[in-house]
Structure 1
């Protein structure tokens, strides 16, 4: 159980957080661009404030949806395509593709299920592709983090450092 937490659960949660921050930032950037395109003057402080408010506001909904989407996409990738091989290049490609396709399915399914496009920045094709790119980056980060056990090593290092400084 401890091995699972260190090798899969912590990297997965870190990946979800990274992917959410990236997707939320891209969403805010597309909304801000839309405001600027219609002539609204957006000061840098206002843009940063909006970005942070979007992250906090989207976390309970979009954050959870991203977590579920990536869990399904990565599980499907692992048990469908990666059962027989763990070659690094195939892992990177498979998890990146799973993240991107997962986002495409998630965003496409939101309209019929929720009757709303939750992510305004993904209403156009460019915004949709940007969100899929966030999913792709999430897949790449998961492949790297689970391959090199980076998160668990970092946590162990921090814990040891805290003990020696206290």
Structure 2
């Protein structure tokens, strides 16, 4: 029952925050690249682009992030069972590894960076989104390693 009451809600909150940050970082990276070449982008345009990107990326990038985080958090939960008192740090690392793995795999398979906001310094902002997601998941789920826990 702990899965339905603690783990799943913690994962969903973590995923939603992580995806929202990743989408926000992507949008602002793209806007800043436009500004760097002289395009004038007003505040309203930034907000509209950010909202449109969030909705547009949700079915694809959102799903990729959900799968990557689910795999990373499951593996980390198994490791955290063995290494007590390291839960939050392990889940932060898991979030970073999940994003790095997903972005590198997508680029390797497709031979292109399909998430424009993951180019240059934007790649590190995507990793930051993963780190935040891992931290939030660890805190909300108490590291997923209480006694008698079955995931």
**Alignment TM-score > 0.5, same fold:** yes
Q: What aligned pairs does 1:1-166 form with structure 2 within 5 A after superposition?
A: 2-79=1-78, 81-87=79-85, 90-124=86-120, 126-147=121-142
TM-score normalised by L of structure 1: 0.83
After superposition, the CA RMSD in angstroms is 1.5
Q: Secondary structure at the match of 1:42?
A: coil
Number of paired residues?
144
Q: Secondary structure at the match of 2:89?
A: helix
Work out whether residues 95 and 131 of structure 2, in 8 Å CA contact, stay in contact via their aligned partners in 1: yes
Q: Secondary structure at the match of 1:19?
A: helix
Structure 2 residues not aligned, in runs of 5+: 145-151
CA distance in structure 2 between the aligned counterparts of 1:7 and 1:85, rounded to whole angstroms = 21
CA distance in structure 2 between the aligned counterparts of 1:64 and 1:93, rounded to whole angstroms = 24
Work out whether residues 24 and 54 of structure 2, in 8 Å CA contact, stay in contact via their aligned partners in 1: yes
Shift of residue 148, structure 1, vs aligned partner: 8.8
Structure 1 residues not aligned, in runs of 5+: 150-166
